[in-house]
Structure 1
């Protein structure tokens, strides 16, 4: 089985390789990294990357991918919307996490380190809530200074700032880490609240999609 992953940071590669090795050893991962897409989406909006994402998805299909997983929350909706007609499943990494958050409780706090991530993540949570027939109250918390650490290659500083933002949340049933790069902060946070991240459930869903394609 072959899964193509569309990333906007090379930092995601070892994370998903490790998850694959632990849970899906028969899955071949092909990593496509386009950092400029996140920058452009943040400056001009997700619509500005549609043509580039369409071309990347088509190339992944031609190269034999059984499915494509977009690991960037800011452009995941774009990738998902382009799936019809591609011929293979296209998944956004944060959808399984959003569904789990809705199932956990109605008070959901979304933590992010990039402002452009909030709108698509909140829309996704609301979509999953509607699908489940549940009413939710969604709030946001921005992890100040975290993204600057990420860009500087300071992973510990990045995750520590995310964990601090998580620990500042007191009135929620569940905390959602909006970006895949934030996953490591869940282990650093001291909160007793449920803290959800996207890489593991996202990869599990993509692996399942690949298996369905192979059986078809």
Structure 2
């Protein structure tokens, strides 16, 4: 049996070691390669939305990953999710947006679902995805979307303490109002680890681990 290869497409170099550690843990024996272009997310943030020209570049990267020999392609940025779904229809191998397995899990856990983000460009696509996956699952849900305004700017300035405090406060508040929380950005996951057990009143889902566990199930 030939060794399977996963192509990972990132909009931040900081996610490469995160996903490398996860694939090492859950997908031993699987080969991986990375395509990184942070101009994609910078363009989305600058324009406030995923524009057609940026979406076309995402589709091109997915095509490049297929041409490079990927048996499965995972795109690790939620903000470009719509382009990932478009690319999947044009590709001969499976293509997954990182937050879909997380959205599916949230829909299974509870009716009241909270989505939290530090970027409006991520909050919209992830909220939309959760709604659509609920329809696919035949579940009725109540969605609460929360934007931590200013947290992303703090992170970009290197002020991780302010970012983490703002996200933690929002998480604590949201956990009193919903059955499950979805983190729209993987960068928020480390804040969850700093919360006291008493503050984690409901499951808080982050996409990287859930996505790789989903892939592990596909390859088993």
Same fold (TM over 0.5): yes
Gaps of 5+ in 1: none
**TM-score, structure 2 length as denominator?**
0.88
Alignment of 1:25-64 (within 5 A): 25-42=28-45, 43=47, 45-48=49-52, 49-64=54-69
- In angstroms, what is the RMSD of aligned CA positions? 1.8
1:16 and 2:19 are equivalent in the alignment: yes
Could you tell which deviates more after superposition, 150-159 or 58-67?
150-159
Aligned to 2:154: 149
Larger RCO, structures 1/2 (Cα 8 Å, 6+ apart): 1
Alignment of 1:1-216 (within 5 A): 1-42=4-45, 43=47, 45-48=49-52, 49-155=54-160, 157-169=162-174, 170-189=176-195, 190-209=199-218, 211=219
Q: Distance in 1 between matches of 2:143 and 2:190?
A: 22
Please tell me whether the aligned partners of residues 183 and 207 of structure 2 are also in contact (alpha carbons under 8 angstroms): yes
Tell me the TM-score normalised to structure 1 length: 0.90
How many residues of Structure 1 are paired with residues of Structure 2 in the alignment?
211
Per-residue deviation, 1:15? 1.0
Do the aligned partners of residues 7 and 160 (structure 1) sit closer, same or farther apart at CA in structure 2, a change above 3 Å counting? Answer: farther
3-state SS, counterpart of residue 140 of structure 1: strand
Greater displacement, 45-54 / 9-18: 45-54
Change (3 A) 1:203 1:157: farther
Cα separation, 2, equivalents of 1:35 and 1:161:
24
Unmatched 5+ residue regions in structure 2? none
